Amino acid sequence: MTVAVQTDAEGYLANKDDWSEELANELAKELGIELSDDHWKVLNAARAIESESGASPGLRKVSKRSETPIKAIYKLFPDGPAKLIAKIAGIPKPKSCL
Amino acid sequence: MTNSGTEKKRSLSVICSKGSFDMAYPGLILANAARMAGVDARLFFTFWGLDIVNKKKIDHLHLNLVGNPSAPIPAMIAGLPGVEALATAQMRKEMERLDIPPIREFVEMLDDAGADLYGCQMALDMFKLTKDDLVPQVKDVLTAMDFMDMSEGAQIIFI
């Protein structure tokens, strides 16, 4: 099943307003992730940083803000956490190298 | 986007051969970027690059100013005692402002991110060091041939 929502060529949400918690759950499922409270802590932190600063954060900032160690983030979002978090949180591709 | 199920996962091998403060970061940053993007990453520390994972040196790497045409001060001054230390301290401060982790923390972060770190056997022998002289994040000591075998199909970056 494919989620019917517009994304850019790399798979990031095209319109921020399309995002909802339900959509995030569906997007996550499509990426092979079942969202738990721990996932949400990380996703909410990423969304909060993006909305405050206007810049999609890298992992280091998300880790600090969500008080989730880097190691735990890689367990929650294996296989490219920086990309997966941005895609599921409905924010653009991170602009940070860290 | 994969067009067949048989496509191999991307993987990156970084060879770090320089031990100056400014040459330590590029390899660490690239390997970390790879892991953040879901690309497997391994690092091979050889020759002066061993300093990056040497317990005694990891917190004391210096900028390379002499013989570096990009150095912000004239070569004659850069060579004076203490100037490199001063410039390094200044750069450390600037990096802290940008929230770039110090090298020890960066190495820990890479380990947490699932990157594999290896020391070069020949370089260790040459500097009369053993694996115990390296930070615990270094998984193993390898020959160049071991690292080549491991890097089959990987993209290789030499720094």
Q: Whole-angstrom Cα distance, residue A82 to residue A97?
A: 10
Q: Whole-angstrom Cα distance, residue B138 to residue B159?
A: 18
Contacts of B37 in chain A (CB under 8 A): 80, 82-83
Q: Catalytic site residue A97? A: yes
Tens digit of each residue's pLDDT (9 = 90 or more) over B73-127: 888 888 888 888 899 999 999 988 888 999 999 999 999 999 999 999 999 999 9
> What is the predicted pLDDT for the residue at B4?
44
B150 touches chain A (CB under 8 A): no
Q: At what angle do helices A81-89 and A59-66 cross, to 10 degrees?
A: 70
Q: How far apart are the first and last CA of chain B?
A: 29
- Taking an 8 Å cut-off on Cβ atoms, the answer to whether A80 and B99 are in contact is no
CB A72 within 8 A of CB A64: no
Q: Which domains does chain A have, with CATH numbers?
A: 16-89 (1.10.10)
Nearest CA in chain B to A61: B99
- Taking an 8 Å cut-off on Cβ atoms, the answer to whether A97 and B32 are in contact is yes
> What is the predicted pLDDT for the residue at B20?
93
Across B57-76, average pLDDT: 87
Weakest-pLDDT range from A42-46, B4-8, B78-82: B4-8
Average pLDDT taken over every residue of chain B: 91
Residue A10 φ then ψ, to 5°: -95, 0
- The percent of residues in chain A predicted with pLDDT above 90, rounded, is 74
Is residue B7 pLDDT above 90, yes or no? no
Across A43-70, average pLDDT: 94
The 3-state secondary structure of B106-137 reads: HHHHHHHCCCEEEEEHHHHHHCCCCHHHECCC
Q: Which domains does chain B have, with CATH numbers?
A: 11-158 (3.40.1260.10)
Contacts of B61 (CB under 8 A, 6+ apart): B19, B20, B21, B24, B51, B52, B88, B103
Nearest CA in chain A to B38: A80
Is residue B3 pLDDT above 50, yes or no? no
Size of interface A-B (CB pairs under 8 A): 38
* Closest of B143, B32, B63, B93 to residue A60, by C-alpha: B32
> What is the predicted pLDDT for the residue at A14?
87
B112 touches chain A (CB under 8 A): yes
Contacts of B25 in chain A (CB under 8 A): none
SS3 state at A40: helix
Q: Whole-angstrom Cα distance, residue B124 to residue B55?
A: 13
CB B142 within 8 A of CB B120: yes
Catalytic residue among A25, A74, A97, A98: A97
| ipTM higher than threshold 0.95 | no
Across B131-155, average pLDDT: 95
Give how far A35 is from chain B: nearest CA, Å.
19
Tokens (6 digits) for A62? 């998300």
pTM: 0.88
> What is the predicted pLDDT for the residue at B2?
42
